[in-house]
Chain A
Amino acid sequence: MRTRQISVSKAIVEALTEEMQRDESIFIIGEDLVSHGGIFNQFKGLPALFKDRIIDTPISETSIVGCGVGAALTGMRPIVDMHFADFVTTAMDEIVNQMAKIRYMFGGQAKVPMVLWAPDGGGISAAAQHSQSLGTWFVHTPGPKVAVPSARAAVKGLLKAAIRDDDPVMFFQHKKLFGKRGAVPEEEYVIPLGKAAVKRKGKDITIITYSRMTSVCLEAGRRLADIGIEAEVIDLRTLKPLDFPAIAESVQKTCCAMVVHEACLTGGFGGEIAACIGEELFDYLAAPVMRIGAKDVPMPFSPVMENFVLPQVEDVCACAEKIMKRKRK
């Protein structure tokens, strides 16, 4: 595929433009979309192209999400912008009790084809209420699919898959990815939900990660190679559906694994993956599965503390070395 260098925001605008031209039932609803083009410029230019289909709302997250549910139930394909993922807390009933359950609870009579777009993550000194990684909450709620793209191309391809999906998809895109530039294919492409990507090949240890931590783990992989450890880095791309076969294939080869995520460690998705590996791949393991996540505190404001709380490349390297030392021959 031929590629060109564009920003993630531009890749998003391309994905939305292509999808909205293809399907008239798609509309985008949220705060500050029309005049501002979205707080991360991810909707820039769209209001001029799709006048009535980019809808600015009052600050009413509960009703914005509910609006997505009601519109999806009656023939539309809404994309609901949450501004910041942290604000899902103001619409938890609409997400957890309504969006997630309506299809099942009504015996499969209806479908809820909506995308709930929730820019998440820390690292921008946005403090405790604008920095969380909450995707795992919704993995624990049967109903929504949960996408956690890691980079430019994945954002565009996964977003298109999310829009085309007939079930609700929560799209947790890391805020720090918006401004990043990189290679995006020129022609149209869609990345299916539930398909992980091996971002780096390696025979010694499997590092399972997602979202922004993918680039952190890739950097760790380069540094580990310098000291003779070949790490395989898997970007999950979606937490639900989970591509466990991709994890299994790698762990059967490396015989050890660690999970890295930006969300808090305790109760995080790392525990779930570690348990799955323990249940399914115990006989292959030559070392315990380790986890790395943010420290269990609300995100502090001052960068020196924030960096301390968030997993860093050094943390990933140290953990990998520790596992390698314990690894039975």
Chain B
Amino acid sequence: MHSSADSNAPIISISASRKKAILKKMIQIRQFEERAGELFHQKLIPGFIHLSIGQEASTVGSCASLRPDDYIISTHRGHAHILAKGADPKYMFAELLGKKTGYCKGKGGSMHIADFSLGILGANGVVGGGFPIMVGAGMSIKLRKTDQVGMVFFGDGASNRGTFHEAANMAAVFKLPIIFVCENNNYASTSHAKVMVAGGSIAARAKAYDMPGYTVDGSNVLDVLEVVQRAVDLARSGGGPSIVETATYRYRGHFEGDRQEYRTIQEINAHRMHRDPIARFEKLLVAYNTINLDYIVKIWHETAEDIEKAIHFGMESPLPAPEDALKGLFVNS
């Protein structure tokens, strides 16, 4: 059951306000990531960060199909997933800056942000580390007999981990309500999926587990939403798991500072110019008279202001006390 959404299909029937919210979320993520990159290069963010600029449609389209009580598990390239599930950028910036007010009190940093109150079971720094945990969340949903679903994000690189195979098999065997969303941005760190993914298609692997597999244009947010919504509806109604592979692209390196000798600037620019998910969606919404150019300018401006406020919160927040490092390992510590 390997299908793909038709990218020329008419705009799917969701309300204008929902479309605006989707656009706004994509812009928020873009601005969050760009500013995070700047703060990193200003040496205000310690460690290293992985940005997902260019992948906004894939992430926002996927999360737009979820309810607040649904679960997600994210990856090392996870800021966008966390924001798309509703996290507050101010606690995220505080975490990136290593502050006490961050989501994880400064213990997690860029690769390990979670908000369990929003169903975000965390970004996982181990590539492919999220699959088995999502099997557990799916099993928990089944045992508790709720109609929640779980969505586990991963990249083309993680599709080659054994955890993917084990989790896909177990999710299928137990008919767990899980949506495997592969954001195929072509590169596992420095290695191209063409070289590393046998068979060429990750969605096609779904067939082996007797579950639906979809490939979709990951720079078209409504296509992503439509396809992922199908998978979510199936999972929620007890029909079991699906794999959705979104064809997407990251504009930045694997990490900030990556020399990117594995690809050309022309390749990146071609994506930026012709397949930018935000520009495409803005054009579409203007063409259908859902919004006008003034609205677009306004939304970029407002979102930028909010992001600056969030950064300000993070910058002004106190650092943790060094001995806070000894707290929180156990429930009573």
Contact = CB atoms under 8 A, between A and B. Distances in A.
A60 B169 contact: yes
Interface residues of B, number: 44
B144 A67 contact: no
Of B106, B122, B129, B135, chain A has the most CB atoms within 10 Å of the CB of B135
A60 B105 CA distance: 34
A29 B139 CA distance: 10
B102 A107 contact: yes
Contact of B112 (A52, A57, A62, A106): A106
Contacts of A68: 136
A62 B140 contact: no
Given A105-B104, A105-B107, A110-B114, A76 B143 contact: yes
A27 interface: yes
Interface string B294-333: 0000000000000000000000000000000001111110
Give the residue among A58, A66, A97, A111 with the most B Cβ atoms within 10 A.
Answer: A66
Interface stretch (B13-21, B38-46, B159-167, B195-203): B159-167
Given A70-B135, A71-B140, A76-B143, 11 more contacts: A63-B170, A66-B131, A66-B167, A70-B139, A94-B132, A97-B126, A103-B328, A105-B112, A106-B107, A107-B105, A107-B108
Nearest to B112: A105
Contacts of B136: 66-74, 78
A111 B108 CA distance: 15
Interface of B: 71, 102-108, 112, 114-116, 121-122, 124-126, 129, 131-141, 143-144, 162-163, 166-167, 169-170, 173, 327-332
Contacts of A67: 132-133, 135-136, 139, 170
Contact of A73 (B137, B163, B329): B137
Contacts of B167: 63, 66
Contacts of A107: 102-108, 114, 328
Interface in A118-145: 142-143
A234 B30 CA distance: 61
B328 A108 contact: yes
A104 B107 contact: yes
Contacts of A232: none
A98 interface: yes
A52 B140 CA distance: 12
Contacts of A106: 103-104, 107-108, 112, 114, 116, 122
A81 interface: no
Interface residues of A, number: 41
Contacts of B114: 106-107, 109-110
Given A97-B126, A110-B114, A74 B105 contact: no
A309 to B, nearest CB: 32
A1 B133 CA distance: 42
A83 to B, nearest CB: 15
19 contacts: A53-B143, A58-B166, A58-B173, A63-B135, A67-B133, A68-B136, A69-B133, A70-B132, A70-B136, A70-B139, A71-B136, A73-B136, A74-B136, A97-B126, A103-B331, A106-B122, A107-B102, A107-B105, A110-B116
A55 interface: yes
A102 interface: yes
Contact of B132 (A66, A105, A108, A166): A66
Interface string A237-258: 0000000000000000000000
Contact of A97 (B129, B138, B140): B129
A204 interface: no
Interface string A43-67: 0000000001101011010110111
B101 to A, nearest CB: 10
A66 B133 contact: yes
A109 B104 contact: yes
Nearest to A52: B143
Residue with the highest number of chain A CB atoms closer than 10 Å, among B103, B105, B124, B331: B331
Contacts of B122: 102, 105-106, 110
B103 A104 contact: no
Most A Cβ at <10 Å: residue of B121, B134, B166, B173 = B166
A303 interface: no
B174 to A, nearest CB: 8
Contacts of A93: 126, 129, 163
